[in-house]
Structure formats: C-alpha cells, structure tokens
Structure 1
Amino acid sequence: MSGDLLPGAKLPTTQALMANYGVTNQTVQRSLAVLKQEGFLIGRAGSGVYVRENPQQAVEPASYMPPSSPGEPHSWVTEAAKRNLRGEARILEVGEARPPAQVRDALGLPENGVAVMRHRLMLLNGQPAELIRSYYPVEIARGTRLADRRRIPGGSPTLLTEMGMPPVEFVDRISVRLPTSEEFVALELPDDVPVLRTFRIVFTVERRPIEASVLVKAGHVFELEYRLPAR
C-alpha cells in the first residue's frame, strides 16, 4: 500500500519475511493468504508471490462532473481509458421510488415524496468497481431519459445540460464503513474489506439541487483525489 514494493515485484521468501518481522511461518502464511484474498498479492505456482500489477486506483471525482463532448461516451468510460482500462455501466434498476431521508432532505422533498432513481453497477475490465444510486426530482426527470432504463448518451451531466440545467457544483460527503450484504455480493468483495461511501449533491448555477447520489467503492481498490485551487 505504501508503494515500497512496486506492482509486479516479487515478495521476499518466507524465511526472509520470518527473519525480517520476527514471526513464525504460520503467521507469514496467514498474512499472505489475507493479502491474496484482498487482491494485493498474486501467487504463481513454482515462481513465488507477487504484488498485483494494478495498484490502488486514484479517482478524481471532479473529472466526472462536466458534460461529455459531443459524440463522446460517459466520463466513466473516458476516464477509465486514460488508465488503460475498459469502463462500462450496467443498469440494474430505474424507476420512481421513495428515497432515503438523507436524499429527501438534499432534494427538498416531503416525507412521502418520491424521486426518479437510477441504480447502476460500474465495471472496469469486466470487474465490479462501484455501485451508484442516483436520485432526481420527478418534476425534472419524469418522461425524460433519466427515467428510461436505457443508457444515457454522455451520462446524466450531458443530459441535464441539454435540458437547460447544467450541473455547476457538487458537494461530497465521504465516509468509510463495512459493506451491506448487497454491496458485498455485487462488488465481489473479500471478507472484512470496508467500502468508501460518497454522498453527492449536484447543484445548478442557481444552487438548485438536481441530483443526489450514493456511490459505493471497494476501499482496498480505490482512493479519492481532490484538487483545490491555491489561495
């Protein structure tokens, strides 16, 4: 995790690890098994144990907010390509639903209010990477592509811009917790690995909230990168 062992590097022998850390062979083997399960190490029969080739990925949330250029795919796809990965989205559910209280408050909905919800599983190289539930006020989403189960060309920022409500600001609230059963299965997580949960509110230039999303990523695979302007 610190980068002392580079991606693809071979680990020292079991004897060397025992001597370096002052532990027994059993402790070394258990530790290696945990790191393999979490995806940090890969064992190669007859060769040894190696650090996985793909290091923890740094994701810059701000890069996903601007609308895509004409004819370009969703920013999840283009940003993945910059990291030499194949990004895709799998739509799990679309429809009107009563959102959680946190979403209701963010969108200014009444207690029994409903919103249009889009639930997607995002993949990198065919592997589950992120679960996203996005909610939109029904007065702007009903009857539009936001309420359609099909993919949105260029993603929601592009569609909202075309609808005259370009997203210009977002607020992220980030927390770390253990996954729910649904997240554990959908993201194919190892045991005892936490998730990064981001609660995001998107605003127009008039500070009108037009989208609230809950994004869940595997904590051992991703880290978040934010760039702030110098004062």
Structure 2
Amino acid sequence: MTVTEPEHADRRSLHERIAADLRDEIMSGDLAPGTSLPSTAQLKTRFDASNATVQKALQLLKGERLVVGRAGSAVTVREHRQRTMRPAAFMAPAGRGEPYRWLTEAARQGTRAHSRLLEVAEIRPPADVAAALQLATDGRTLLRRQILMIDDEPVELVRSYYPLEIARGTAIAERRKIRGGTPALLAEHGFPPRLSVDRVSARVPTQEQFQALRLPSDLPVLRTLRVVYSDHDRPIEATVMVKAGHLYEVQYEFTPD
C-alpha cells in the first residue's frame, strides 16, 4: 500500500523545523536568556533526529545570533535581541532643533542609533504606494531611501515617497539629512501630520533587503506601509519600512470605544 503525504505536511527539512520550534521558544521566553538549550541527546530524542541534523539546526540559531556555544559544549540562549517598536512614539514631529524621534526613542532604550541616506530621486513608485498617494497613472514621486542603524547593525530599510508638488523646492529633494526628520519639515511647510495608517505584512525578503539588513537566512521580514495624511485627508507621505522579522515585534495600543 502506498503511503501518501498529508496535504498540509511541513515540507521544510527537519533541521529547519527543529530550529523553528526552538526559535519560537527562545523568542517567547520559554527558553530565557542565559539558560542552556536541552542537550544534543535530548534534542535527538525529542525530534527523532540524528546528531548531524540537530547540529545543523543549532547552526541556524547561532547564525541568527539567538544562541552561542561550540560543538561538544552547552549551547546558551543569548540576551534577548528582539526589540519592541511602538509606532505611536514616532508620529508627532520633533520640536525645532530636536533630533528625529526615532533617534530619541533609540537613545531612551540605551542604544546608539543613526541613519544613512542612500538615495534621493524622482521615480515612479510601486503600485501600492501610488494608490496610497492618490497619484495619476504613471505619476512620479520624490523618493528618499535610507537605512537605519543601531549600534552599527542595520535594522531597518526605509523608502519614503512624497508627492512632487510638496517635495520640490524643499530640503526633502536635497541629498542631505533633515534636522528633526521630514515630519517636522512638512509641518513647517503647512502639511502637519494628522493621521497615520499602517499596513503590516510578513514577506520573504527581496535580494536588496537580504543584503542591506545582513540577514542570516531567508527568515521573513516585517514590511510596513505607512501613509501619513494632513488636513482634509490629503496624503503627504507613504513610507515602506522593512525590518528583520526575528529581531522585531510591533506594539500597538488601543483605547476601547
């Protein structure tokens, strides 16, 4: 009799499945920082796996910098590296002369943060951005592309798009950093942010994202499309932010009606 594989079987290799289960336990806190993972013998029994398969799984977790240890010794969970992002903390424009709020929030968490501007150009944006900015067919935008760094590690790839009638003739169109960030500049030019709408999805990283964020494997990334509206519901900015999925969680806060 032929044994058929279940329709929804997990077709990943066994070492990837083992790493996935252990990763979840690490990120949820069941395996706390400083504690040792179960021994190789225990993992072999638990997952019905060979020694080589278990070692391949542990190598994946080491590559993601979730655990540390050498073959033949205990493997220990590293200090939890996942950061909690609160989008509400970055919405209001920075005060005159103040740093961009992302930098301020990073400093409050005891980290050293900076941004690197990669590109400023007029381009045709992706379809979802064009729709968000209510552009005409073949409409173009002003793109500012940058990468955000924390303690010299790339943590977020950012593409911000602005309607040309708003961006042209302002510092947004210049290849230089803007003191306080673009929210403060937009407010100064009569376009204060009134509403922000986020669409968050998990995706397989593109080649650019994989390289820019120095991802250790094909773990998913968190992609946020944020559209900022000013007075009269006018969209003034659409930003695509991509973060390493194994390093971030996003926290939203709601008040019951």
Using the TM superposition, name which of 121-130 and 105-114 deviates more.
105-114
Residue matched to 2:200: 174
* 1:8 equivalent in structure 2: 34
Query: For the Cα contact (< 8 Å) 1:68–1:155, is it kept in 2?
Result: yes
**Equivalent residue in structure 2 for 1:74, among 97, 100, 104:** 100
Report the counterpart of residue 141 of structure 2 in structure 1: 115
String of CA shifts for 1:75-99, please: whole Å, max 9, x gaps.
Answer: 1211111221111110000021111
Runs of 4 or more, structure 1, over 4 Å off, are: 19-22, 44-47
Post-superposition offset of 1:58: 1.1
Give distance in 1, aligned partners of 2:184 and 2:201: 28
- In 1, Cα distance between equivalents of 2:95 and 2:36: 42
**181, 189, 204: which one aligns with 2:230:** 204
**Letter of the structure 1 residue corresponding to residue 84 of structure 2:** A
Deviation at 1:125, TM superposition (A): 0.7
Structure 1 residue 229 displacement after superposition: 1.3
Shift of 1:116: 0.8
Identity among equivalent pairs (%): 51
**What residue ranges of structure 2 are gaps of 5+ in the alignment?**
1-26
TM-score by length of structure 2 reads 0.84
| Structure in which a larger fraction of residues adopt strand | 1
- Between the aligned partners of 1:180 and 1:186, the Cα distance in structure 2 is 10
Match of 1:32 among 35, 58, 75: 58
Verify: 1:91 aligned to 2:143, yes or no.
no
CA 1:144–1:6: 2 relative to 1, 3 Å = same
Deviation sequence 1:188-223 (CA, Å, 0-9, x none): 012221111111110013211000111111111111
Larger radius of gyration, structure 1 or 2? Answer: 2
Q: CA RMSD in A?
A: 1.8
How many residue pairs align between the two structures? 231
Query: Whose RCO is larger (CA < 8 A, sep 6+)?
Result: 1
**TM-fit CA distance, 1:146:** 0.8
- Does the C-alpha gap of structure 1 residues 110 and 82 become closer, same or farther in structure 2, counting only changes over 3 Å? same
Match of 1:64 in 2: 90
Q: Distance in 2 between matches of 1:30 and 1:45?
A: 11
- SS of 2:120's equivalent in the other structure is strand
